[in-house]
Amino acid sequence: MLRPKPGAVRAAPYDERDRASHRPSASLREDTLTDLHAFVAGLPKAELHVHHIGSASPRIVAELAARHPDSKVPTDPEALADYFTFTDFGHFIEVYLSVVDLVRTADDVRLLTFEVARDMARQNIRYAELTVTPYSSVRRGIDESAFMSAIEDARKAAEAELGVVLRWCFDIPGEAGLEAAEVTARLAVTEGLRPEGLVSFGLGGPEIGVERPQFKPYFDRAIAAGLHSVPHAGETTGPQTIWDALTSLRAERVGHGTSATQDPELLAYLAEHRIALEVCPTSNLATRAVADLERHPIREMVAAGVLVTVNSDDPPMFGTDLNNEYLVAARLLGLDERGVAELAKNAVGASFLDDAGKARIAAEIDAYTDSSLGAAAAARLAP
């Protein structure tokens, strides 16, 4: 029975410690590294934890900054690399909010959304649940209906033109308190305003000092309206925050969940109930949630039988993308191509895509894996 418990750096995906077996104990041959990079690049993928604003590429951020010259955000894409170097999680939030301030019109919203999908298509991402924070936009003066129309127009264009299926998670910015929760919940449940692509309801921002139970009434409303619960928890706080997300917010997946490994009972619960963790290794390193990748708890999560998905969080801000995150995870977990393909299918299975869509992408992953490995075997046998 579930019960509460008592009270910028880019990660290099491979080095001499790389491995290429399903089992973490096996070693990776040097001649497989290029093959694995190529395999990951072509692998059909789903992404479950990636933020709308945080996915703005330097090119798009620079274009938005040029549109709004009163912002302190650099207009030079190269200067953005320094701007996106974070000293800690608090500094990351400060920089993140400065980019949020660049999205001031419905046209900005539409541009950002479609360009994020374009970057996903380049990585062979077939499906993504994009975390959107509508409160940040409407409080800056964007009309609510215009905001919804902008993301929906971009969503439909992305599917038709790029082959990327987008769905939305409406996210409460925790640092903005209960006012933001009320606005976000209202936008998520109001008929005629709620967008067609909305599937889930989340909670992000700082965790320290932002207790999860206070948001229970808003999650209850969202769940009653048919949305799934996917709060961030345990990224920069201990396992009690994850317990709170499970008990108070009825989390079906947990964003990050980095501290879950500090509580064996919590790990066992997550594994037994197949509650997926949305793991973002490079993000955790960049925000100093983990000291270094070698100490990232993803190994312990997998060893405990927890369903782990790999995600990029705010990829351009952290100098990464989903392909790189798969390579990081492959090294940490000791995965070969089939192991990486199974990791990709974890994300598909843990998604809120309909059963037919899940089956389609999973079959595409299997077909791609068989074809790639078959071609590689044939090439090795060729004279």
Residues labelled catalytic: 235
Count Cβ neighbours within 10 Å for each residue of 29-39 and write b for 16 or more, e otherwise.
Answer: eeebbebbbeb
- Strands (E) in 239-329, as ranges, are 253-256, 276-279, 308-310
Residue 159 to residue 344: CA distance in whole angstroms:
20
Residue given tokens 């037994």 in the structure block: 272
- Strands (E) in the chain, as ranges, are 45-51, 125-132, 165-173, 198-204, 228-229, 232-233, 253-256, 276-279, 308-310
Answer whether 255's CB lies under 8 Å from 313's CB: no
> According to the 3-state scheme, what is the secondary structure of 135-165?
HHHHCCCCCHHHHHHHHHHHHHHHHHHHCCE
Contacting residues for 173 by C-beta, under 8 A, at least 6 apart = 133, 135, 136, 180, 204, 205
Q: Tell me which residue of 138, 64, 130 sits closest to 103, measured CA to CA.
A: 64
- The strand pairing partners of 255, in sequence order, are 232, 278
**Angle between the N-to-C axes of helices 33-42 and 355-381, in degrees from 0 to 180, rounded to the nearest 10:** 150
In this structure, what DSSP letter does residue 28 have? P
| Amino acid of residue 317 | M
Both tokens of 347, joined, read 């994300």
Q: Tell me which residue of 217, 285, 254 sits closest to 350, measured CA to CA.
A: 254
